[in-house]
Copies of this chain bind each other. A is one copy, B any other.
Amino acid sequence: MPTMTAAQQRAQAKADYDAFLAQCPSRQLLDRISDKWVTLILAALGSDGPRPGAGCEGGPRSMRYSELSRRLAGVSQKMLTQTLRSLERDGLLTRTVTPTVPVTVSYQLTGLGLSLQHLMSSIKEWAEANMDEVLANRESYDAPGG
């Protein structure tokens, strides 16, 4: 049993990576997760969803490919598949294939993905909450008088 808590271990690991450095792997990771579709996929899978009695088991919600496709309005098949693969590879979500006819595929956040989802949802909510102020700022910036 380790003497460090998980939070302490993360703080330890943090010291070894610095996203300000171009060569650091965390810079690439930051670039990967700094993505519109990543944010929305995580937000979709992290939400409790509209189904009332389905999420009693405590784990994060699972969604099918077509569900995600509908939820993320305007996403192309290519970007959805590509982003899901990338997130699966990084261990942020799991992809489960059920051999029905036709085949059923569902996606679900891992613990790691869930931890990021909490942060990403804050960003999404910030964007939604501060939209008015940003729009006002743009107007005054673009105004002739400055």
Which A residues lie at the B interface, using CB under 8 A?
10-11, 13-14, 16-22, 25-27, 29-31, 33-36, 38-40, 43-44, 71-74, 88-91, 112, 115-116, 119-120, 122-138, 141-142
Contact B25 A40 (CB under 8 A): no
Tell me whether chain A's interface is mostly helix, strand or loop, or mixed: helix
Q: Which residues of B have CB within 8 Å of A142?
A: 89
How far, in Å, is A46 (CB) from chain B's closest CB?
Answer: 13
**Bound-complex Cα distance A112 to B27 (A):** 25
Contact A71 B20 (CB under 8 A): yes
Please state the number of chain copies in the assembly: 2
* Known contacts A36-B31, A142-B89, A18 near B128 by CB under 8 Å: yes
Residue picked from A14, A141, A142, most chain B C-beta under 10 Å: A14
**Bound-complex Cα distance A13 to B16 (A):** 40
Residue picked from A13, A17, A124, A127, most chain B C-beta under 10 Å: A127
Contact B13 A131 (CB under 8 A): yes
Contact B134 A126 (CB under 8 A): no
Q: Which 3 A-B pairs have the closest CB atoms?
A: A91-B137, A22-B74, A10-B129
